[in-house]
Amino acid sequence: MEKQTRKRLPHETKDYIVKMILEEGVKVREVSRKFEIGESTIQRWLKAVRDKNKQESTGSKFITTKEHEKMQIQYEKELRALKEENDILKKAMHIFAKNHE
């Protein structure tokens, strides 16, 4: 019995196939026959891409405590700067309003 060998496709080809299906609406069966790849393999690639996109869109990236602390410090710094800017604008608005009367 002859051992079956698997074709290793470059990532670019996999990406192209997935893009054809997702963006151009080409049927999995059609692509499977054209490239001589099993439908289940293509379905697995599609699932991986969909899962990745879903994870990226939900922002379920995990951050460390240290990263969280850095983000918190940055947000607080930006908030202080915005509050200061807002106070300056309020004072300027009152000055211009008095001069305009």
Q: What is the pLDDT confidence band of residue 1, given thresholds at 50, 70 and 90?
A: low
**Angstrom distance (rounded) from CA 17 to CA 32:** 9
Of residues 61 and 52, more confidence is placed in: 52
Whole-model pTM: value is: 0.52
CB 42 within 8 A of CB 17: yes
**Angstrom distance (rounded) from CA 83 to CA 66:** 26
pLDDT digits (tens, 9 = 90+) for 55-69: 777 665 677 888 899
pLDDT digits (tens, 9 = 90+) for 13-43: 889 999 999 988 999 999 999 999 999 999 9
Q: Where does residue 87 fall: left (phi above 0), alpha (psi -120 to 50 degrees), or beta otherwise? A: alpha
Measure the CA angle with vertex 71, ends 65 and 74; round to 5°.
145
pLDDT at 67: 86
Q: What is the pLDDT confidence band of residue 52, given thresholds at 50, 70 and 90?
A: confident
